[in-house]
Chain A
Amino acid sequence: MPRCSTASDGGVRHMTAANDISAAAEWLIRLEGQSSPEMWDGFQAWLATDKRHEAAFIRLRTAWTRCDQFKRLRPADGRVDRDLLAQRSTLLSRRQWLVTAGATAASAAGLGWMHSEHEAWTYYETSIGASQITTLADSSAVVLNTNSRLRARLGGERRDIELVRGEALFTVAQDTVRPFHVKTAGALVRALATEFSVRILEDQSTEVLIAAGRIAIGAITPGSQWGLAVLPASTANASAGDSVTVGSNSVVVKRQPPSYIARRLSWTSGRITFDGETLAEAVREFNRYNHRHLSIADPAIASRQVGGSFDATDPESFVAALEKNFGVFRTPAVQGNNDEIRLVSSERRTQPQP
């Protein structure tokens, strides 16, 4: 049975700390094993003897509870290996407990398991006009926008996402043990529990919109490896309502008006919403989602402002709205070319097109 420490003399006692700790550990484990009412009474009596007993017990119990995170390492295949934590095993590279759930068509097609130096990546990809919602094994949700590609690697220490192309929204499940990183060619975002989107723009800069929570973000040298992917010295913090643009040598955080982020993220429900964007910007945006491209055949209308919410994969409805409300028209379809809708101003509507 646990030993009692020496009685208190009101000051600091000597040579009892080690005993207190070992007694606390004994009680902790014994009570976890088979506890009887008698044992419980004995425990209570021990606790009541000295406040230091209780303190030592709480310390041990806190550590022991923390050790519950070891269950993360349990292999997904149900196999029991009592030497799982033996030094010989390169534990962090064990594939068994890596995240295997949520593998997509991309991985089924053979793109899936690729081994980096330690852990395996799972790839996710969408085609033009498509969108895909994936729940990662940590319960984080990823919504992949049109024509996008990313890979995910969830290990015991960290959760890494690499956006290769396009745009994605991340709703990050809280996990204080494993920070959530999203990397693009030029930027690295670190988050705990947040919601934010990351998009690779045409000029290869990275745009991040924060819908909830906070992130840390920084520019990184293109081609930085994950192993070295600590946030660089020039970092910024951003929180809900901010947009961040990371260029080759700059990080710009901008506080946006209240509805801006929600509007910009309306693609997650299949829509594109404009509020004063130029026609040129709107056309570029539509073209991300459709094989049938819009083009501006009349420079005079490029900077005309447009507004409204449209089905991202239905450029016809957008063109109809342009014709009705914005004085912009389509030219008659050129024979045999259904891939492009050319837009002109009303004045040039009837003029012959080259």
Chain B
Amino acid sequence: MAKVEERYLVQALEFEGVLRACLYRYARNTSDVEELLQETYARLLTAGASNEPEVRSVRAFSLTVARNVAFDWLRHKQVIPIELVADMEAMDILDERDQIDAIVNSHQELTMLIKAVQQLPERCRQVFTLRKVYGYSQKEIAARMNISENTVEQQLIKAARHCAQALFDQPVGERHATLFDRFRRRGQTHDGSE
């Protein structure tokens, strides 16, 4: 399903939390971080469609892109970033455990998703269950639950956003505990403010 130009972006989703943490070092404001993250993804999509040589480490590349996005933004704000070199070092270390993490984390995904769905409001959770567990169409769900198709749609939209958050936007320390521990240690060393 995923097209070839989407590969960097799709892989980067796996460590959205890392990118978010990286961007937070520059922006320190959740809504700015969201903006910078979306811009990072857009650039990864563009990079995936280019004819440049294949990137060896998508994690390292994504972090570079994120930093560039942050620099552009800081330049735009005419704020001079500090600790840039130190930050680069910290990021490169994040690379080593790429593959190990992928293996360790994969089996936790369904459990994590189940927990996320359990948090949804009742009706949203039920619509989601009928769609994703039992595979009913939106029309069938509407008939079964005696609600409008528009309602089904709204509930699924809510559920989709929620699941994307759960999958990709891990709180620090959950899915990438090892990475983040190291990252945060580095962060503390350099600016003492995490």
Q: Which residues of B contact A84 (CB under 8 A)?
A: 129, 133
Q: Nearest A residue to B37 by beta-carbon distance?
A: A17
Whether A62 contacts B10 by the Cβ 8 Å rule is yes
B6 within 8 A of A: yes
Q: Which residues of B contact A85 (CB under 8 A)?
A: 114, 117-118, 125, 128-129, 133
Complexed CA–CA distance, A54 and B117 (Å): 25
Stretch of B83-91, B162-170, B177-185 lying at the A interface: B162-170
Complexed CA–CA distance, A290 and B41 (Å): 65
Inter-chain contact count A-B, CB under 8 Å?
173
Once A33-B149, A63-B167, A157-B110 are accepted as A-B contacts, the answer to whether A74 and B134 lie under 8 Å apart by CB is: yes
Minimum C-beta distance from B124 to chain A (A): 11
Residue with the highest number of chain B CB atoms closer than 10 Å, among A12, A34, A66, A70 = A12
A68 within 8 A of B: yes
B13 within 8 A of A: yes
Complexed CA–CA distance, A156 and B114 (Å): 11
Complexed CA–CA distance, A258 and B34 (Å): 54
Once A12-B76, A65-B1 are accepted as A-B contacts, the answer to whether A55 and B45 lie under 8 Å apart by CB is: yes
Instruction: Classify the secondary structure of B's interface with A.
Output: helix
A40 within 8 A of B: no
Minimum C-beta distance from A48 to chain B (A): 13
B106 within 8 A of A: yes
For this complex, into which size category does the number of interface residues on chain A fall? 35 or more
For this complex, into which size category does the number of interface residues on chain B fall? 35 or more
Minimum C-beta distance from B94 to chain A (A): 21
Whether A82 contacts B34 by the Cβ 8 Å rule is no
Whether A14 contacts B35 by the Cβ 8 Å rule is yes
B161 within 8 A of A: yes
Whether B111 contacts A60 by the Cβ 8 Å rule is no
Chain A 59-90 interface 0/1 with B at a Cβ cutoff of 8 Å (1 = within)? 11111111111111110000011111111000
Chain B 42-80 interface 0/1 with A at a Cβ cutoff of 8 Å (1 = within)? 111110000000000000000000000100110010000
**9 closest Cβ pairs, A-B complex:** A55-B41, A63-B164, A51-B42, A17-B34, A70-B132, A82-B126, A52-B42, A17-B38, A33-B138
Q: List 23 A-B contacts (CB under 8 A).
A: A14-B32, A16-B35, A16-B38, A17-B37, A25-B160, A29-B138, A33-B152, A51-B43, A52-B41, A54-B45, A60-B164, A61-B1, A64-B164, A68-B132, A70-B117, A70-B132, A83-B125, A85-B125, A86-B125, A91-B114, A156-B111, A156-B114, A178-B107
